[in-house]
Structure 1
Amino acid sequence: MVSQPGGCVVVSGRDRVGGWNNVEAAEPAGEFGFHLGTRYAVQYLNYTAEELAQVPSVSAKRFAGTGNPHRAGPVRIGEVVLDTGCGAGMDVILAAHRVGPGGRVIGIDMSRAMLDRAWQGIVAAKVDDRASLFHGVFESLPMDDASVDVVLSNGVLNLASDKARVFAEMFRVLKPGGRLHLAAVVVQDELLEHVRNDADLWANGIAGALPEHELLAVAANTGFVNGRITERFDCFRGAAAEFKVPKNHMIGAVNFLARKPGI
């Protein structure tokens, strides 16, 4: 059974995400409770400085992922890739370089302000010939069934109360044999009620985190196969949000790789 917190708190947390996204899109300065930018991506999440040199600063400095879904598995030349919750577009740009001119990358985000920044980065990176952006939410993806080879998701699953619905949507849009490269916040111990009901911790991606075994279970129940954790990240180390959560919860993030069965 998947843990589901109260819907009213989720709405409040998402409202804060929207507000923070507007501020972050304008200028990513100040305290958000989580880490941002390229230095964080390299030191905490194992991105390389060489690959991030391909990403314009308008996108890179606003990066707020929790893992590195590109390391979960390969993205191949000519593939179609979907990034759910793409933010300012750093992972979209990296994927666009990987798929090449014959591939396609689609980014979806609920924040129009962040999509504006993402498009600026895409144009500056000269990958606008193969990248496109859409406004939407991951519970209802504006994509056809069986239309993408790879779904990327980095740090946004935790903003959804209905994780099963999000997994079902990702499963729906993947082609048979397609892969899910997911980076998500997880906990090793069930969160206390006061943590689950903290809107700021929802917006930080902590209050909506699943215990690791539940993440594996919901993916399997959706129909994904060969699901496994491929890497772990201490993504909140030293961030303000870390100090609002009891240490025994062991908050962190994982890369998760799974596949939709082939025909």
Structure 2
Amino acid sequence: MKIKLKKMLLTSSLLASSTALSIVAISADTNSNANTNNNGTGGGTTPKTPATPPKNADDFDSFKGELDKKVKENVEKLVDDTVTALNNKAKELIEATKSEPNIARDLIAKALYYQKVATYLQTNKAKLVSDKTFDPTYLNALANDKKYNLGNITYEGKEFSNVIIGSNPNDYASALAKDSNSKKEVTEKDKINDISKDDLNSKINDYFKNITDKENENAGDNIFVNKDDLPKLNTDTELTFDKTFDLTTPKNYSSW
């Protein structure tokens, strides 16, 4: 069965791969135990303190559960914020019909589309979480892999260096397969993953902050709503009225 909104969300789920790559700069090497000491006497510098050998955190086995919990919380919040934003935009468009009567039908159609997307997101919020619509690859590596590689990745014409590359499925293989010109070069193997739970949580927060900052006040609007997917009135759909306005099912689809 072809469902317009389900297809839209299936397409947007590819964001999980592309977003992880687009913010890969914050996935840089987490090993940072080396330090120096200057006691200020005699104007000299004491020998460097030997670096503490990196090791997995004592509570490392709890990191996967922590990541799953935080991703769930953030995705649910993003969906809720998006539903609110889309409903507000729909109200604004309906209000705009009073001053723009010549394009009132188009404004109403767009408002109804936003409402349908909002309703779909609200109804399917749990599924968006369980299906891992947002599945940050490098965070999965940090939360699951006790060792990882560092390397350089070329994806969609962009080059990313010092990328944390985990074991399958945290090695970007599925994302890179979508771009025939992509490249992956491992520069350092078997780095000990010494990230702490606090650092992991900080990176999770950075990941979702980066997403919402990119979208500014629109938050999930540009993620879940593809402007090219807006139905064209009188071409893809018709405006109907039966006590309230509604849109007919888009052409070539069995339902929204």
TM over 0.5: no
Q: Which TM-score tier does this pair reach, normalised by the shorter chain? A: under 0.3
Query: When the two structures are superposed, what TM-score results if normalisation uses the length of structure 2?
Result: 0.22
Q: Which has the higher strand share?
A: 1
Relative to the length of structure 1, the TM-score reads 0.21
The structure number with the bigger radius of gyration is: 2
